[in-house]
Amino acid sequence: MRSIQKTGTKELRGKLDNSRISGAKYVLLRPAGYPLKSLFQDSPEVSNSRLFERYAREQWYGEVVKPGCYLFDRRLYPDFAFQVVRAYPRVSIVGSDTNIVVEKKKIYAKKIESDVTFDDVVGQDSARRKMRVVEKFLTEPEKLGKWAPRNILFYGPSGTGKTMMAKALSRETKVPMMPIKATTLIGEFVGEGSRQIHGLYKSAEDIAPCIIFIDELDAIALDRRYQDLRGDVSEIVNALLTEMDGIHRRKGVCTIAATNKIEFLDSAIRSRFEEEIIFNLPNEEERYLILDKNVITLPLEMERLDLKAISRKTKGFSGRDLVEKVLKVALHHAIIDDCKIAQVHLEEVVQNVKKDLLKPPAEMFT
Ligand SMILES: Nc1ncnc2c1ncn2[C@@H]1O[C@H](COP(=O)(O)OP(=O)(O)OP(=O)(O)O)[C@@H](O)[C@H]1O
Ligand SMILES: [Mg+2]
């Protein structure tokens, strides 16, 4: 218990017996904006949470906080309001050791617009077949009832078109996709990640039909043998399990998750996926098609290129390698040489990438 130097909102000032309020252990804030609208005001964003905490403690030292009340910035962004989302104890006073955190932007508010189509994805036939069912479900969510596709896992090497396929599905069905990177779910507080998951599914349900795309699933759903057992990570896993089990069935919501480390996934999570769909590295013909589709979009003149020869020499390359490491780098070399893109540019780059691919990985879990 400590006495108050000054107090928060007027309402709190009047109603509370300040001498009986204890110091806040932590306060969670949500940026709430300015009381008045102006064209010239940007919303501030926290760039360094530790520095912000020092800054916040100093200016709000002695303020009484409770969920729902506002704290106004008085320095860099005068009158910008932060709303208290949570405080522990529920009614308490900001002190010199209060843990003050600004809520991360709500990941579940985000939808993406995609310009990728199924025709852009080369190969991956089993994924394409499954997508037909999902397409059917998303365009007529009522029809399949309890037989609807719910949880699908894409797995396979990096750069083989997993994200691309999910984007294409969203575009072709005109159904919004909510993409989340699993790593962004790991919050500052225990419990934050699981709240994010439930919030995500709730907002997907509100705008259903909707696709939730969880990328890098292994970041949170690693088999317990491989994760350092952080409490919040297992809470996230449990929240995800609850949503995927569909005890509270989220109508019209389809979860697609992607990983390139399927063998490390938690078996409980893995068993919730009705189907695991493999994405393979492209074969020679597919490599040719990927090169061919992309080469025409290069913004530079080119000599006659023998893409068949390149596809023969690029066994083991992913679609991403072909686009990002071969075509893009060859283009850049041609720009540096100030000439058209020539076969030799492609050949040289392929040789360099092959040398890189032969190097052992720096770390097993990167
Ligand atoms: N099957 C494919 N057909 C056409 N282009 C492809 C294919 N696979 C990869 N690409 C190219 O590589 C890029 C990266 O692919 P994408 O992001 O879908 O890979 P990913 O499987 O999600 O990889 P990661 O596991 O690293 O997330 C695509 O934008 C595209 O240019
Ligand atoms: Mg991806």
- Cα 250 to ligand 1 centre (Å): 29
pLDDT of residue 20: 77
Same domain, 36 and 90: yes
- From 258, 278, 252, select the one nearest 136 (Cα to Cα): 252
pLDDT band at residue 112 under the 50/70/90 scheme = low
- Cα 294 to ligand 1 centre (Å): 12
Q: What Cα–Cα distance (Å) separates residue 71 from each residue in 12, 174, 235, 326?
A: 12, 41, 30, 53
pLDDT of residue 123: 95
- Give residues with Cβ within 8 angstroms of 169, minimum separation 6: 118, 131, 134, 135, 138, 175, 177, 211, 256
**pLDDT, mean over the chain:** 83
Domain total of the chain: 3
- Give residues with Cβ within 8 angstroms of 71, minimum separation 6: 8, 29, 60, 63, 65, 81, 82, 84
Same domain, 123 and 267: yes
CA separation for the pair 136, 139 (Å, rounded): 5
pLDDT band at residue 231 under the 50/70/90 scheme = low
- Cα 153 to ligand 2 centre (Å): 12
Same domain, 268 and 299: no
Whether 149 is covered by a domain: the verdict is yes
Q: Which domain holds residue 197?
A: 108-278
Domain end, chosen from 103, 122, 142, is at: 103
Measured from the alpha carbon of residue 317, the closest ligand is 1
Calculate mean pLDDT across residues 316-337: 94
Cα 194–Cα 196–Cα 201 angle in degrees, nearest 5? 100
| Residues within a 6 A CB radius of ligand 1 | 120-124, 158-164, 258, 260, 279, 290, 319-320, 323
Reply yes or no on whether the pLDDT at 14 is more than 70: no
Reply yes or no on whether the pLDDT at 2 is more than 70: no
Same domain, 57 and 21: yes
Whether 1 is covered by a domain: the verdict is no
Per-residue b/e over 215-229, b at no fewer than 16 CB within 10 Å?
A: bbbbbbbbbeeebee
What predicted TM-score, i.e. pTM, was given to this entire model? Answer: 0.71
- Cα 169 to ligand 2 centre (Å): 14
Q: Whose CA is nearest to atom 17 of ligand 1?
A: 163
- From 275, 283, 242, select the one nearest 257 (Cα to Cα): 275
CA separation for the pair 68, 82 (Å, rounded): 10
Residue with tokens 């190097």: 359
Calculate mean pLDDT across residues 241-254: 79
Q: What is the DSSP letter of 62?
A: T
Question: By the 8 A CB rule, do 175 and 334 touch?
Answer: no
